[in-house]
Amino acid sequence: MAAHETSPDPRSVVADLGRYVTDSPSSYHAARAAAARLEAAGFTRLPEEEPWQHVHGRRYVLRDGALIAWVAPHGVPAGAGFRILGAHTDSPGFKLKPRPGTSAHGWHQAGVEVYGGPLLNSWLDRDLRLAGRLVVRGEDGTPAEVLTATGPVARIPQLAIHLDREANKGLTLDRQQHLQPVWGAGAEGADVLALLAAHAEGGPVDPERVLGHDVVLADTQEPALLGASGELFASGRLDNLSSVHAGLTALVREAEALEGGRRIAVLAAFDHEEIGSGTRSGAAGPFLEDVLVRLAEALDRTPAEHRRALADSVCLSADAGHLVHPNYAGHHDPVNRPEPGAGPLLKLNADQRYATDAVGAGIWAAACERAGVAHQQFVSNNRIPCGSTIGPLTATRLGIRTIDAGIGLLSMHSARELCHVADAAALDAVAGAFLTG
């Protein structure tokens, strides 16, 4: 079967992916942008703090910067399992420190910490915005959460070559001294929280009411097609909004078919993967287990039936992987060499840093065949240990068979990453085939 013959149109897929990335400068924005799309498709939010009486049909739950959505058929058998597509909403970069406003030599700066493992040099001399959530004191004195996002306001300036003639021989960046962005100049006005409060969603809030913040830096350059025929797609946060978008669009597109199916289809978009996932909204935390247990309870499943359902379940851990870099081909495995446009990657590792096993590889191959797309395999060069994903965490916490896969990128963990448009469309198609399989 020819690769991508039943895939969604690649250009339309990446155009919509670009809109989603633009709407999602932080994990909190990504979760809420996904929720807005689900609401438009007939999904209903279930608050975690309230009883769940009606879980059939199209439902979703928000927890901070994470989201879990599902389609549960009416009359789903008691022991029928879940088809789960897992991804993550966060990306490596920089997070705002407490008391972030500083001034030095006439420049206003924002104090930031490095978040995860970004390619630090890729963030230099780029037009940046601040985005995330503020917790503010409401009129009745209770804390309330509000999103905030500025336009282009900040920049991490590089030192001129005239002042460091050796810079091109090996750039060394001190994480404390060299990576604090500038966002203004003058004798007054170095109040970052006031800036964020002025850009709060729904209208400005009093900065004196701000009780806490989770705010990151985000690149402001628009996603764009590149290449002689527009076959390449450049964007920030492809790791891993490419996977969140694929799972989201597949769940929405296939919702009607899933309502008549025999399994519960789930999208689990976690936060904090780039820093180990060990949070209440991360994959190492209880979020997915909480939701699946509450689903079982609302469906009147016994504990034994719930365990049967988990044994009948599969999770596709969708996260970006690496294409062979033409300038650094020696960093890749000499035999398994993924190329752009040849399909998404099945990720394997002998030490189970990726959770794929032979049975999972078969399930993945079958989903790709149903979707009409080609796929490739990724394995690391033995001299270069691979990273990990939410896959092993999900397999370990819940005992669910888990497959690791995703689109291939160049420049992973850069402020701006690169993929092939056909691969993004192929992942979209495979996500649908997996959830309906």
Residues contacting residue 25 through CB under 8 Å, at least 6 positions apart: 129, 131, 149, 216, 218
Q: Is the pLDDT of residue 1 over 60?
A: no
- The tens digit of pLDDT for each residue in 40-71 reads 999 999 999 999 989 999 999 999 999 999 99
Average pLDDT over residues 410-428: 98
pLDDT over 50 at 415, yes or no: yes
User: Distance between CA atoms of 212 and 195, rounded to whole angstroms?
Assistant: 14
Q: Is residue 348 pLDDT above 50, yes or no?
A: yes
Q: Maximum distance among all alpha carbons in the chain?
A: 71
pLDDT of 186 higher than 50:
yes
Q: How confident is the model at residue 226 (pLDDT cuts 50, 70, 90)?
A: very high
Give the pLDDT score at 137: 95
Each residue of 367-405: pLDDT tens digit? 999 999 999 999 999 999 888 899 999 999 999 999 999
The residue type found at 92 is P
**Does the bond joining 349 to the residue before it have cis omega, within 30 degrees of 0?**
no
pLDDT of residue 346: 98
HEC profile of the chain: CCCCCCCCCHHHHHHHHHHHHHCCCCHHHHHHHHHHHHHHCCCEECCCCCCCCCCCEEEEEEECCEEEEEEECCCCCCCCCEEEEEEECCCCEEEEEEEEEEEECCEEEEEEEEECCCCHHHHECCCEEEEEEEEEECCCCCEEEEEEECCCCEEECCCCHHHCCCHHHCCCCCCCCCCCCEEEECCCCCCHHHHHHHCECCCCCCHHHEEEEEEEEEECCCCEEECCCCCEEEECCHHHHHHHHHHHHHHHHCHHHHHCCCCEEEEEEECCHHHCCCCCCCCCCCHHHHHHHHHHHHCCCCHHHHHHHHHCCEEEEECCEECCCCCCHHHECCCCCCCCCCCCEEECCCCCCCCCCHHHHHHHHHHHHHHCCCCEEECECCCCCCCCCCHHHHHHHHCCEEEEEECEEECCCCCCEEEEHHHHHHHHHHHHHHHHC
pLDDT above 80: residue 316: yes
Q: What local confidence, expressed as pLDDT, does residue 190 receive?
A: 80
Asked if residue 86 has pLDDT above 80, the reply is: yes
Amino acid 386: pLDDT: 86
pLDDT at 109 exceeding the cut of 70 = yes
In this prediction, residue 378 carries a pLDDT of: 96
The whole-number average pLDDT for the span 123-142 is 95
Integer angstrom CA distances of residue 12 from 102, 200, 223, 334, 416: 43, 31, 13, 34, 20
- 5 pLDDT band, cuts 50/70/90, is very low
Determine phi and psi for 341, rounding to 5 degrees. Answer: 85, 0
Nearest residue to 100 (alpha-carbon basis) of 151, 143, 63, 153? 153
Indicate the average pLDDT of the chain. 95
Does residue 202 register a pLDDT over 80?
Answer: yes
Question: What's the CA gap between 387 and 194, in Å, rounded?
Answer: 38
What are the tens digits of pLDDT across the range 232-247? 999 999 999 999 999 9
- pLDDT confidence band for 353 (50 / 70 / 90): very high
pLDDT value at residue 7: 54
Rounded average pLDDT over 265-283 = 97
Assign 21 to helix, strand or coil.
Answer: helix
